[in-house]
A and B are shown apart, each in its own frame.
Chain A
Amino acid sequence: QSALTQPASVSGSPGQSITIACTGAMSDVHGYNYVSWYQQHPGKAPKLIIYGVSNRPSGVSNRLSGSKSGNTASLTISGLQAEDEADYYCSSYTTTSTLEVFGTGTRVTV
């Protein structure tokens, strides 16, 4: 099972909005509403920021939002702030041998 496809990097200026795409297949993103997003700062453990395609855990900023259309899930960060500079990974349940699969990861630069 190949990883879900994400752009290697996305950049934006403070206050702007950016969107990170996560492209999969019928066996994962398209077929299930179990898409999650994780934020990882250098040297730190990942942090859950979106689950079930578009739900935010308690305490996560409402500047972060998730959506899905067909084979592609998306994470939008609005009102970019310096603290948003990090790596972002999508994840989806899959019917293939890995059971769950991460995206390739996107480095966000502010």
Chain B
Amino acid sequence: QVQLTQSGAEVKEPGASVKVSCKASGYSFTTSAVAWVRQAPGQGLEWMGWVSGYNGNTNYAQKFRGRITMTTDTSTTTAYMELGSLRSDDTAMYFCARRTYMIDAADYWGQGTLVTVSS
């Protein structure tokens, strides 16, 4: 069965960086992309971008360009999302999701990683 397992909660100070991992299993990693979505407390969902599991190509939402990096490690079928220059409004639950090229939608999701930015 398809599973996406994310790393644990993080607490960071303003200005720091955070790197969240997403371990994929149960499908061929190179046939799909991994998308990243975040949700601030009590707020809606926000697309951050995605990274191809095939060749590592990325598409970032303009809001995050310059301080976000998405990568993959095909040997461990793991995707990573690193967000820098953290601010208090980056406090959110961060989700990874499999985005298949066949249906252009996020069909399986990780459990979420809570990132708290606080001094």
Contact = CB atoms under 8 A, between A and B. Distances in A.
Interface residues of B, number: 21
B118 interface: no
Contact of A98 (B62, B97, B106, B107): B62
A93 B112 CA distance: 23
B56 interface: no
Interface in B73-117: 95, 97, 103-107, 109-112
B49 A99 contact: yes
A98 B105 contact: no
Contacts of A34: 104-105
B21 to A, nearest CB: 16
Interface residues of A, number: 25
Contacts, number: 64
A102 B104 contact: no
B104 A98 contact: no
Interface of A: 3, 34, 36, 38, 40, 45-48, 51-52, 55, 57, 89, 91, 93, 97-105
Interface of B: 37, 44-47, 49, 59, 61-63, 95, 97, 103-107, 109-112
14 contacts: A34-B105, A38-B106, A45-B97, A46-B37, A46-B109, A48-B107, A51-B103, A51-B104, A51-B107, A91-B47, A97-B62, A98-B63, A99-B49, A102-B47
